[in-house]
Amino acid sequence: MYFHGSGWVLNEFDVEEEICAEIANRAKCIVVSVDYRLAPEHKFPVPLEDCYAATLWVSNEKNAASIRADPKSLMVCGDSAGANLAAAVALLSKKRTRPKLKGQVLIVPPTNCSANTTSYRKFSAGFGNDRQVMRWLWKQYLRDRKDGSNPLASPLRAKDLSSLPPALVITAEYDPLRDEGEAYAARLRKAGIPVRMTRYKGMIHAFPLMRGTIKQEAMVIKEIAEWIHAGFAKKP
């Protein structure tokens, strides 16, 4: 299951079609790209519930058969806001006891609405993902400040991260979101979840989308696909 980025507000699922296709080809898996409803017309938790509903749909045997998928082999993946949604779908699947996920791939994820980290202070402007822009995007997504404390909006604020699926967390050195992504990886690891965390040196937030322009973009897609393929190959 792939959830696109752009701050819960912009773009549609087909913008990241090439990335989804490359992951599908490299990982030898089916990628379902979800066209969830966008803020501010549809605020939290509507986009999350859309992503969860799509994941639940694919977990149904009849529905999975219609797209030649295995309903027992599901992972969630997303970039930026989509990574936030992927992490939240994993938490929601745990809370509602279904579907069972085999992994979560979180690419440059926002995990906390506070925007108060060292990386936010160091890279608040001039690195392609400004602090003021992120604050504006959070404001469009959340209904009120209380939502910001909800772990389904800010996964880093979840009290219990145990029993979640294994995670691959990708961060970029010059991304304001770097520290909260890495903090979430650390929290998952502390909760006993198998985690692979990779920081791409010299990169900014949007580097995974820079198709054909930098070698790190190809490297990250390769890493993601190999991790997914290996995860599906593991026996329960």
Enzyme catalytic residues: 80, 175, 205
- Element of type H or E holding 3: strand 2-3
What is d(CA 99, CA 71) in angstroms, rounded to the nearest whole number? 9
CA distance 105 to 98: 18
DSSP category for residue 165: P
User: By the 8 A CB rule, do 82 and 3 touch?
Assistant: yes
Give dist(CA 35, CA 199) in Å, integer: 28
Closest CA to 48 of 145, 167, 134, 150: 150
